[in-house]
Structure 1
């Protein structure tokens, strides 16, 4: 059966008709800032459709309880247990009674739990009671928030789940959601996305205007019109209203809300006894006596002197540590020994840091190195320093400390190569060959080693020059030293020593 309800005026002399049967199948979303006329719109919709369909209103402010006087809605006070609300909702669907769930007087979290229990009871009704119900939720952003607020995660989860069931799965169970919100940005997207009909009122924030324009299929440049809408004026779109964006002026209503917009009114005349009216308690007020605890009795001076003159007790001996005290020098020596064992392996240069790190942890357990295991980032740093092969005298110098500081600005995989050439410059050793640098980097490509030196030079860490004999010299401006001339094409010393040993 097709039933059209009159929502107001669409144009001079033309009513704005809403197909109620289509609305039950496609749901409705209303947006508008506070004072734009959302509650007036919902009241008009409820009054016009009351004779044709069962209604359920989720009312956070108690504004819609006045529907009971004229249209016979049952007002359900939400100050009950969740089980009671669930059972009441089931009986409501069974007997097809229009109701208003009054959430007034509850805090936000209690409102969310009560609404979730009530909607859950309507959603879980027996199949034989799946009659059409128009479920109107005012201030829907409270029950389906886009982000977590000050309420608990549990309350938000159950409330959002109930609203999602209403909008996503409610149609097959006869539940048609009509949700109203002040801001689309505050409403969960999976709840808002299920509505196919829209009534957009006055709004001012750019993000809300843009979303409203997108939902109505309007150009972004037309979004500015939402700022100019008067109270009670909306732009409608949807299969139940209009196939094109249609300006609508909501008509008058028969009932009124308990809370109305504030009106200016003059202050009462000030009389001479105003001060007495404020500070003198009325006859109906009961004055509760203020009982204060008596102050403690003062401590005699003799007792204070006696307490001060008492000898201090001897300090207790320090307790035995629960865990064995770690000798840091012994621990450092053990870690250095393990690092030396790893680098003695000729294939270690061509293994990834992750593989070497696992080998390092196993060797530390075998040697029983005390303390917490070294983290991977610290291991990479120790490995880079160990590959440089610096002796104790050089390690204690100022130049080596500067080289370590400079290497921290490089990626972890390049620090070892930089420290190798820096150590050669500090000790005035010949410049390492391309093959040696490639092995330090974990590669067999001499060309890649030359690219690394170019990268260091671009970072102003060193200067590469070639002498008259074609040998390479690396100068470090920050260290004030340079390597001795070295043949860049010379074979890798470590590889040559390994071949000779074999």
Structure 2
């Protein structure tokens, strides 16, 4: 049996009745779009009134506009303030007894509305198979329950509501649920929800992007899209198997029930003398409660900088403890060097930003009872580069007090940027000890990176400053000369790992220990005379 609902009359010559096939609507769903004031709620009310005696109806009402259907058509009004488990149980009984209801969410905030709607729709969706009777589920302001983007509500509430709306529009047909959703803009509505509708009623809209999208859904050209701007209130363009196979402009018919809110109308202002009006608003009436005085607003708490917070945490002691013994300058220096070596040996610290590693350095110093903040960030960057290069008195293989060239190397490094000082000292150590030139991995580790390419770029940068000279021998090994120190490294494989460098010949090491210039394979820049 085909049930035709008269939604109104078509626009244009003839003004024929515009009918909607209710059975086709139950199978194909409906999407209504229009700006605020275009008549969406009026359209939904017309649909509900015309089909009230033919199919069970469930209305998700965020503004309390449809509760007036209860007196005219026997709908049961369900307050959305019930708990979520109660709403699910009520929804299951609604399907079992085939009662038309209006879920009134007017008293709830946005997040509570989403949770209540999700629970109620979930109860409808999860009903027993024996209760899968046809139900017309009307959702007004659907963009509230299926937003296209995250808003001020929690992610949990948004996901629950969006999932319930998606189930209604995508999987509800086999369970007898026919979704009818209305929204102000298609851009506000989640695509998964809007895409499942087959019938459309497009009302007045003004934004170009909304008109273009509505025209695209209805198969209209650009000129047809501009018609949406000229539609009056209550006029829509319909398309779909339940409405019309071609775009049809129609005017929605009258309704018999009204909204509790109603449309704003102009009423005359009260006519009274100015003195009477002044006394009316400035004098408290006898039956008026005493004026409420708001509590004084607390002064805003000043923001605490990260450095101040770290110092405060360092000073905090949960229980009285004995004062830490005073450390000597030598112990402080040795402790800081140990912390730097620990960070340099930590593989996870490589590649991290210097600011992050600096915070780790401060924490490690506090654990040892050291004042790490005495070292600034720039000084830490320089000392970290030296530590990563493994350049200290023991690792260098030379005595800085006895070898003036080592002190000269440190002075040359001080003139370089902080990022490459450790790299230069690593090369200077290898040149003074006549060791092979470090490989790319060792150079990258000296700058706190895992990228050999970046190490090669910084090596080229130092060479452009005239501090070093690089060359490759006939075997593909790299030799780095330091003209300012009058020495150079032994040939080293650039691809050698830091733990297995090519060992230089023993006679070359002997020349280096005697303080003589090292001729690497006869091709050195500083050949012995």
TM-score scaled by length of structure 2: 0.64
Task: Report matched runs for 1:94-243 at 5 Å.
Answer: 94-205=96-207, 207-217=209-219, 225-243=227-245
Q: 1:110 to 1:492 in 2, by over 3 A?
A: closer
Corresponding position: 1:497 with 2:499: no
Q: 1:207 offset after TM fit, Å?
A: 5.0
2: CA distance, partners of 1:103 / 1:191: 21
The residue that corresponds to 2:516 in the other structure is none
Say whether the 8 Å CA contact 2:382–2:419 is kept in structure 1: no
Residue 247 of structure 1 aligns to a residue whose secondary structure is strand
Higher relative contact order (CA 8 A, sep 6+): 1
The residue that corresponds to 1:258 in the other structure is 260
Say whether the 8 Å CA contact 1:28–1:197 is kept in structure 2: yes
Say whether the 8 Å CA contact 1:428–1:482 is kept in structure 2: no
Q: 1:38 offset after TM fit, Å?
A: 1.0
- The more displaced of 492-501 and 33-42 is 492-501
2: CA distance, partners of 1:324 / 1:132: 83
1: CA distance, partners of 2:113 / 2:343: 63
Residue 54 of structure 2 aligns to a residue whose secondary structure is coil
2: CA distance, partners of 1:325 / 1:186: 65
2: CA distance, partners of 1:226 / 1:387: 76
2: CA distance, partners of 1:457 / 1:78: 69
Corresponding position: 1:8 with 2:8: yes
Q: 1:465 to 1:10 in 2, by over 3 A?
A: farther
The residue that corresponds to 1:404 in the other structure is 417
2: CA distance, partners of 1:101 / 1:140: 14
Say whether the 8 Å CA contact 1:431–1:474 is kept in structure 2: no
Say whether the 8 Å CA contact 1:22–1:240 is kept in structure 2: yes
2: CA distance, partners of 1:58 / 1:17: 24
2: CA distance, partners of 1:108 / 1:356: 47
Q: Deviations over 1:21-44 (max 9, x none)?
A: 121112122222211111111112
Corresponding position: 1:278 with 2:281: yes
The residue that corresponds to 2:77 in the other structure is 75
Q: 1:370 to 1:245 in 2, by over 3 A?
A: same
Q: 1:287 to 1:264 in 2, by over 3 A?
A: closer
1: CA distance, partners of 2:415 / 2:268: 79
1: CA distance, partners of 2:434 / 2:387: 21
How many matched pairs? 428
Q: 1:355 to 1:256 in 2, by over 3 A?
A: closer
Q: 1:482 to 1:242 in 2, by over 3 A?
A: farther
Q: 1:273 to 1:246 in 2, by over 3 A?
A: same
Corresponding position: 1:62 with 2:64: yes
Say whether the 8 Å CA contact 2:42–2:234 is kept in structure 1: yes
Task: Report matched runs for 1:315-330 at 5 Å.
Answer: 319-320=321-322, 328-330=332-334
Residue 257 of structure 1 aligns to a residue whose secondary structure is coil
Residue 64 of structure 1 aligns to a residue whose secondary structure is coil
1:50 to 45, 49, 52: 52
2: CA distance, partners of 1:174 / 1:464: 81
Residue 165 of structure 1 aligns to a residue whose secondary structure is helix
Q: 1:438 to 1:473 in 2, by over 3 A?
A: closer
Q: 1:28 to 1:473 in 2, by over 3 A?
A: same
Q: Which 5+ residue runs of structure 2 have no aligned equivalent?
A: 294-318, 352-363, 369-380, 401-405, 445-451, 472-477, 495-500, 510-529
2: CA distance, partners of 1:221 / 1:462: 70
The residue that corresponds to 1:386 in the other structure is 390
Q: 1:273 to 1:436 in 2, by over 3 A?
A: closer
Q: Deviations over 1:222-245 (max 9, x none)?
A: 655544433223333333233444
RMSD (CA atoms): 5.1
- The more displaced of 153-162 and 129-138 is 153-162
Q: 1:491 offset after TM fit, Å?
A: 6.2
Q: Deviations over 1:113-146 (max 9, x none)?
A: 3323332332232222211010101111222233
- The more displaced of 97-106 and 387-396 is 387-396
Q: Deviations over 1:303-347 (max 9, x none)?
A: xxxxxxxxxxxxxx973269999965334444677899x8xxxxx
Say whether the 8 Å CA contact 2:38–2:233 is kept in structure 1: yes
Say whether the 8 Å CA contact 1:236–1:242 is kept in structure 2: yes
Q: 1:179 to 1:322 in 2, by over 3 A?
A: farther
- The more displaced of 76-85 and 28-37 is 76-85
Residue 236 of structure 1 aligns to a residue whose secondary structure is strand
Say whether the 8 Å CA contact 1:462–1:474 is kept in structure 2: no
2: CA distance, partners of 1:404 / 1:78: 66
Residue 403 of structure 1 aligns to a residue whose secondary structure is coil
1: CA distance, partners of 2:459 / 2:10: 71
Say whether the 8 Å CA contact 1:112–1:143 is kept in structure 2: yes
